[in-house]
Amino acid sequence: MRSSEVARIADVSVRTLRHYHAMGLLAEPPRHANGYRDYGAADLARVLHIKRLAALGFPLSYIREMLAADAAEGAEGAAGPGASRAALEAAALDELDHELELQIERLQEQRRTVELLRREQLDPALPVDFARTVKRLFGDERMRTTEPAAEADRAALMIAGQFYDDQDIAELERVAARLEELGLLEKLYDVQRRNDALGPDASKAERDALVADSKELIGAVIDCLDPANWEDDADNNMLGALTDSLLQGTLNPAQRDVAEQVDRAIVDYVAKKRASARS
Which pLDDT belongs to residue 131?
Answer: 86
Which pLDDT belongs to residue 51?
Answer: 93
Cβ–Cβ under 8 Å, residues 269 and 262: no
Which pLDDT belongs to residue 110?
Answer: 93
Which pLDDT belongs to residue 79?
Answer: 45
By percentage, how much of the chain surpasses pLDDT 70? Answer: 82
Distances (CA, A) of 105 to 55, 102, 112, 174: 20, 5, 11, 31
pLDDT tens, position by position, 143-175: 666 666 667 777 777 777 777 888 888 888 888
Please give the residue that has the higher pLDDT: either 142 or 268: 268
Which pLDDT belongs to residue 171?
Answer: 84
Cβ–Cβ under 8 Å, residues 155 and 242: no
pLDDT tens, position by position, 4-37: 999 999 999 999 999 999 999 999 998 888 888 8
Which pLDDT belongs to residue 142?
Answer: 63
pLDDT tens, position by position, 52-85: 999 988 889 888 888 887 777 665 554 444 456 6
Is it the case that residue 193 has pLDDT exceeding 90? Answer: no
Which pLDDT belongs to residue 216?
Answer: 87
| Range in 9-23, 56-70, 89-103, 242-256 the model is least confident about | 242-256
Which pLDDT belongs to residue 243?
Answer: 59
For the whole model, what pTM was predicted? 0.59
The DSSP code sequence of the chain is --HHHHHHHHT--HHHHHHHHHTTSSPPPPB-TTS-B---HHHHHHHHHHHHHHHHT--HHHHHHHHHHHHHHHHHT-SSTTHHHHHHHHHHHHHHHHHHHHHHHHHHHHHHHHHHHHHHT--TTS-HHHHHHHHHHH-HHHHH---HHHHHHHHHHHHHHHH--HHHHHHHHHHHHHHHHTT-HHHHHHHHHHHHH--TT--HHHHHHHHHHHHHHHHHHHHTS-GGGGS--HHHHHHHHHHHHHHHTT--HHHHHHHHHHHHHHHHHHHHHHHHHH-
What value does the mean pLDDT take over residues 231-246?
A: 56
State which amino acid sits at residue 273: K
